[in-house]
Amino acid sequence: MFTEAYDMRQVVDGRVEDWMNAVMAEMWRTNRFLTKKAIYEYAKTSKSRAQWMLDYQGMICLAANQVWWTAEVEEVFRLVKKGNKRAMKEYLTTLNRQLDELVLIVRTDLTPNERKKINTVLIIDVHARWAQYTDNPERMNLWKLSV
């Protein structure tokens, strides 16, 4: 998958810093491309989130996960503002399902890099859902948000 975005033809002529800068610029371009692709495919894939994560490098997965988590939380806030007081608890169900899926996949036979990637996302997901655990949304002023 990496070679479909990376243009490996870099001129190795002249000053070393010139062609090393060209290689670095191509790496940045490729990472941007792959991150955008991962963000797009996150929503369009028929795979589970955990299976989707196995297709991408760790930092790309982290970036795409954070983009989509932010979008999902913003949507929950919009729903709360429109009067759906159960939106936060409904989203908690989604988060718990995603965590369960990651826990199941981390118990399978993974490469060390895949295991580290899944563990990192697990830790971030556990910390990201803390706000979902509230029986008293007024305490957090969720109903007074101006989204």
Q: What is the pLDDT of residues 77-115, one digit of tens each?
A: 899 999 998 888 889 889 999 999 999 999 999 999 999
Reported confidence tier of residue 9, pLDDT bands at 50, 70, 90: low
Residue 1: pLDDT band (50, 70, 90) is very low
What is d(CA 90, CA 75) in angstroms, rounded to the nearest whole number? 12
Which domains are seen in the chain, by residue range?
2-144 (1.20.58)
pLDDT at res. 20? 85
The tens digit of pLDDT for each residue in 25-59 reads 988 999 999 999 999 999 898 998 989 999 999 99
For the four alpha carbons of 73, 75, 77 and 80, in that order, the dihedral sign comes to negative
pLDDT of residue 2: 43
**Could you tell me which residue, 120 or 6, shows the higher pLDDT?**
120
CA-nearest of 137, 140, 134 to 83 is: 137
Burial string for 38-57 (b: 16+ CB within 10 Å, else e) reads bbeebeeeeeebbebbeebb
pLDDT for residue 67: 95
Q: Which residue has the higher pLDDT, 36 or 145?
A: 36
How much is the pLDDT for 23? 84
- The Cβ of residue 143 has, within 10 Å, a number of other Cβ atoms equal to 11
With 50 as the cut, is the pLDDT of residue 3 above it? no
CA distance 42 to 38: 6
Comparison of pLDDT for 126 and 8, the residue scoring more: 126
